[in-house]
A and B are shown apart, each in its own frame.
Chain A
Amino acid sequence: DVKVTQSSRYLVKRTGEKVFLECVQDMDHENMFWYRQDPGLGLRLIYFSYDVKMKEKGDIPEGYSVSREKKERFSLILESASTNQTSMYLCASSLYPMTVNYGYTFGSGTRLTVV
C-alpha cells in the first residue's frame, strides 16, 4: 500500500523555536505539498514542490520555508515558531502529470501546538 508518512502526530514547541516537520512518500511521486488546516478555513497551501530542489510558494508561505533534497522527502520548516502557527499540518503527494487521474495521497497529519 502506498504511503505518505509524517514523522510526528503531535508536537508541542515553544515560541521562537525552529521547527522541522518531515514528510516521506514511497510512491516515487514528483509533486509534494504542505497544507495547514484550521477550523472554518479548510486546507490552505503553504508550499509545494514539483521536483528535487524545486519549490513554489502557496497561498500562505509567510513564516515557513521548505526543503526537498531527495525526491521522497519534503520538509516544512518554521524558522521561528509563533502561537499563530498552532495548527494541523498535512503533507500530500501526487504523480505528475497524473494528478488529475489519481488526486493526492495524504499523510495522517501533524498537530502542532506552539506555546
Chain B
Amino acid sequence: AQSVTQLDSQVPVFEEAPVELRCNYSSSVSVYLFWYVQYPNQGLQLLLKYLSGSTLVKGINGFEAEFNKSQTSFHLRKPSVHISDTAEYFCAVSDNAGNNRKLIWGLGTSLAVNP
C-alpha cells in the first residue's frame, strides 16, 4: 500500500532563512506528488505538483520541490521564508492503485516563521 511520511511535525525557522520540509513516500507504482498549504483557519490550497518531466518543480509563493525517485522523496524548499509562510504543509501522493480517485496524505508539517 502507498504511504506518505512527513519527517518533521514542526519546523521553527527565522525570517529570511532557508527552509526544507521533508516528505518520503512508499509505492510500488509510479506516483504523482503534491504539496498543499493550509493557512490558519482555512482550507488547503495547492502549492505545487509533480506529474512527470523535470524533477524540479516550482510552485506559488517562491516554493519549489524536487522529486527524487531513487530516494522516494519529494522535499519542499524555499530559499528565504517570510512571516506569512507560517502555515501547515501537507505532502500527498496519488493513489494509482485506486483508479487515481484519491490522494494519500502525510500528517503535515507545521512551519513557524519567527521574526
Q: Which residues of A contact B (CB under 8 A)?
A: 4, 31, 33, 40-43, 45, 48, 50, 90, 92, 94, 96-97, 99-101, 103-104, 106-109, 111
> Can you give 6 A-B contacts (C-beta < 8 A)?
A42-B108, A48-B101, A92-B43, A99-B103, A103-B103, A104-B44
Of residues A45, A99, A100, A104, which shows the largest number of chain B Cβ atoms within 10 Å of its Cβ? A100
Contact A42 B32, CB 8 Å, known A48-B101, A109-B43: no
Interface size class of B (residues with CB under 8 A): 20 to 34
- B interface, CB within 8 angstroms of A: 9, 32, 34, 36, 41-46, 49, 51, 90, 92, 94, 96, 99-103, 105-108
Chain A residues in 8 Å Cβ range of B45 = 106
- Whether A108 pairs with B49 at a CB distance below 8 angstroms is no
B9 touches A97 (CB 8 A): no
A104 touches B103 (CB 8 A): yes
Contact A99 B43, beta carbon cutoff 8 Å: no
Contacts of B106 in A (CB 8 A): 42
Residues of B within 8 A of A97 (CB): 99-100
Report the bound CA distance from A70 to B72 in whole Å.
39
| Residues of chain A within 8 A of B92, CB atoms compared | 103
Min CB–CB distance A47 → chain B (angstroms): 12
What 5 pairs across the A-B complex have the smallest Cβ distances? A106-B43, A42-B107, A100-B32, A106-B44, A100-B94
Contacts A42-B106, A94-B101, A100-B51 supplied; 6 other A-B pairs, CB < 8 Å: A43-B108, A48-B102, A96-B101, A99-B101, A103-B36, A107-B43
Contact call B105/A43, Cβ cutoff below 8 A = yes
Contacts of A96 in B (CB 8 A): 100-101
